[in-house]
């Protein structure tokens, strides 16, 4: 379902939406699997957490991008395209986000910022 989320046409890659990030258990497993292939990203996430726990540990401010973009949580793709997730650069759509989150309904969510990324 994540593949069906339209791109946010107003995105400036500013990172303002990369704050406290919830992810489903399924998404967390995908992120951890990805990090086993790119362990340097896990290290960077851990270093970023030491500095600031209020921003997503996978936000790369220097490169103005997400270090786990391919496996990012669904919520990240919804910013600026669904009702209630406002982008400071304006929303490019006002879709109902519940449609995209239905597959995660029964799963517990975790906060990526609260996970200790220093442990593999």
Whether 100 and 2 have beta carbons less than 8 Å apart is answered as yes
- The b-or-e profile of 61-75 (16+ CB within 10 A means b, else e) is eeeeebbbeebbbbb
DSSP secondary structure, 60-108, as one string: ETTTTEETTGGG--HHHHHTTTBTT---TT--S--B-THHHHGGGTTS-
pTM (2 d.p.): 0.90
- How far apart are alpha carbons 112 and 50 in whole angstroms? 14
- Domain boundaries defined on the chain: 2-6+17-114
The residue assigned the tokens 């990526």 is 112
| Three-state secondary structure call for residue 117 | coil
pLDDT tens string, the chain, 120 residues long: the values are 566 899 999 999 999 999 999 999 999 999 999 999 999 999 999 999 999 999 999 999 999 999 999 999 999 999 999 999 999 999 999 999 988 888 887 889 999 999 999 876
Residues whose CB is less than 8 angstroms from the CB of residue 7 and which lie 6 or more positions away in sequence, other chains included = 81, 92
């Amino acid at each position: 379902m994540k593949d069906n989320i339209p791109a946010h046409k107003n995105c400036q890659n500013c990172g303002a939406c990369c704050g406290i990030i919830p992810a489903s258990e399924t998404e967390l497993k995908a992120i951890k699997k990805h990090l086993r292939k790119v362990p340097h990203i896990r290290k960077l996430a851990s270093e970023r957490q030491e500095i600031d726990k209020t921003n997503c540990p996978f936000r790369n401010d220097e490169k103005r991008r997400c270090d786990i973009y391919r496996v990012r949580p669904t919520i990240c793709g919804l910013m600026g395209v669904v009702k209630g997730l406002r982008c400071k650069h304006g929303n490019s759509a006002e879709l109902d986000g519940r449609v995209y989150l239905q597959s995660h309904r029964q799963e517990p969510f975790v906060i990526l910022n609260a996970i200790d990324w220093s442990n593999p």
